Structure 1
């Protein structure tokens, strides 16, 4: 039998943690002296201690470690547990990378001593046009590409002619920003008449008066353009009057370089 200090050295787990593991039932000493309270461990408990340390390093909580330890005699169950943890770690990594990109962008602007991009806001009329439309509730705004995928798949054999100009737009029908379950419609201007498919509907969109600003660069800067439009509307005696939409002049379909994206932010407006 090993005293707690000896077991601590061999397992490379602090005495404090060993006591904590004992209190939680994760790793109970082989024997606890009822008079002195001294804890004694068996050499046969070292593999379990090493597994606990390995699982802890993988990011498992103590409660989860206890459940995973029960799976060690069942390779299939153990694999499922490890794969679930791997997926969780991968999601956390992707989120961390997204935050790093945002931080790098902010730092790059500071290094260049950039000021906010200046936006010219104009009022114009987007003319009546015939469009191919796909409208669905999607999980989040960044899943808009799913709608374009549906459009491409269902119209691939229809020989659709592009309108002039061939506007590709996304309309955001919700009256608020939503974290999930967003109502988005994508539209592409077309020429001619075509039968509806399962998800693609052909329709005429009426002319609409909008206040617009054009953003060159990543969609991460979109709030700057929308702030400019909102300020212009407030300062010039207009009010918002309908669902906002974006016109993609240069999109990820055209280039993989976000700095080359060209997006027009359009808000339907009317005079007060």
Structure 2
């Protein structure tokens, strides 16, 4: 028998971990002295702890490891959990690849001459218009396409007529920034609201709104630089925000797969700053 300190050295596992394993029933000491509460482990348990550590190295959780131990290291049980872990690793690898691409693109943006990000801001009015609209909470901003698919699936069969300037826009209604479960509305301008509203798709009149407008040529990675520029412009011209920000898509992924050719108009509803105390 080995005391917990001795066993810890032999197994290259901290005493803290051994006590945690005991607490969750993963590895219980062979013997516990009822008078001193000293834990004693057997040489056979060294084989078990080595297997536990090996399973941890490949990324299996302690819960899964416990199931494998409880099965007596049944081959089917091990294969099943290994297959699940392999899928998880593939997903993790894909995430790493995406992050790597983001690093490359971010580095390119940071190296760009700051003059490139000299955006022109215009105060303008988006006029009253009739729109086909759908609003919902979606998993993330990247899921916006789901709303457009839902909108067009309903309005195309009604042979809806769009205005010459379609004002295809996405409105971001959340009061604060959210990474998930975002409140987004998409709209397309139509000639009349005399169509049937159904299945969460509504035809309505949208009011005019005064905005600070910025044309973005290229991908949405510029949005951070845009918001920095707009914030400075608002302060310098004594304006404050007056409603949810929205994007008007002049050229988007719907018609152009190459992000370099996208043309987006970022709009920030504004009003004159209130100087009352």
Tell me the TM-score range normalised by the shorter chain. Answer: 0.7 to 0.9
Count, aligned residues? 252
Q: Distance in 1 between matches of 2:154 and 2:70?
A: 49
Shift in CA distance, 227/109, structure 1 to aligned 2, threshold 3 Å: closer
- Residue 67 (structure 2) aligns with: 67
2: CA distance, partners of 1:251 / 1:225: 18
In 2, Cα distance between equivalents of 1:175 and 1:18: 49
1:191 and 1:154 mapped to 2: Cα distance?
A: 16
Report 1:162-173 matches (<5 A). 162-173=162-173
Deviating more after overlay: 90-99 vs 175-184: 90-99
- Output one character per residue of 1:62-97: Cα deviation in whole Å (capped at 9) or x when no partner: 453232333443837962x44543454344334323
Equivalent position SS for 2:117:
coil
Given the superposition, is the C-alpha separation of residues 53 and 113 from structure 1 closer, same or farther in structure 2, using an over 3 Å criterion? same
Tell me: CA distance 1:177–1:138, structure 2 relative to 1, closer, same or farther (3 Å). same
Aligned-partner Cα distance in 2 for 1:67–1:76: 8
Change (3 A) 1:55 1:75: same
The answer as to 2:206 corresponding to 1:198 is no
Give the structure 2 partner of residue 153 of structure 1.
153
Going from structure 1 to structure 2, the CA distance change for 1:22 and 1:268 (only over 3 Å counts) comes to closer
User: Structure 2-normalised TM-score?
Assistant: 0.76
Residue 137 of structure 1 aligns with which residue? 137
What is the match of residue 10 of structure 1? none
Is residue 29–residue 41 contact of structure 2 (8 Å, CA) maintained in 1? Answer: no
Aligned counterparts of 2:260 and 2:250: Cα–Cα separation in 1: 13
Query: Is 1:172–1:185's contact at 8 Å kept on the other side of the alignment?
Result: yes
Map of 1:80-99 to 2, 5 A cutoff?
81-82=81-82, 84-99=84-99
SS in 2 for 1:170: strand
Shift of 1:39: 5.4
Q: Is the 8 A contact 1:168 1:188 kept in 2?
A: yes
Tell me the equivalent position of 2:244: 243
| Structure 2 residue matching 1:161: 3-state secondary structure | coil
Task: Give ranges in structure 2 of 5+ residues lacking alignment.
Answer: 1-8, 32-39
Preserved CA contact (<8 Å) 2:239 2:271: yes
Question: Cα offset for 1:19?
Answer: 8.4
**Structure 1 residues 236 and 78: alpha-carbon distance in aligned structure 2, compared to 1, 3 A threshold:** same
- Tell me how far apart the structure 2 counterparts of residues 266 and 113 of structure 1 sit (CA, whole Å): 24
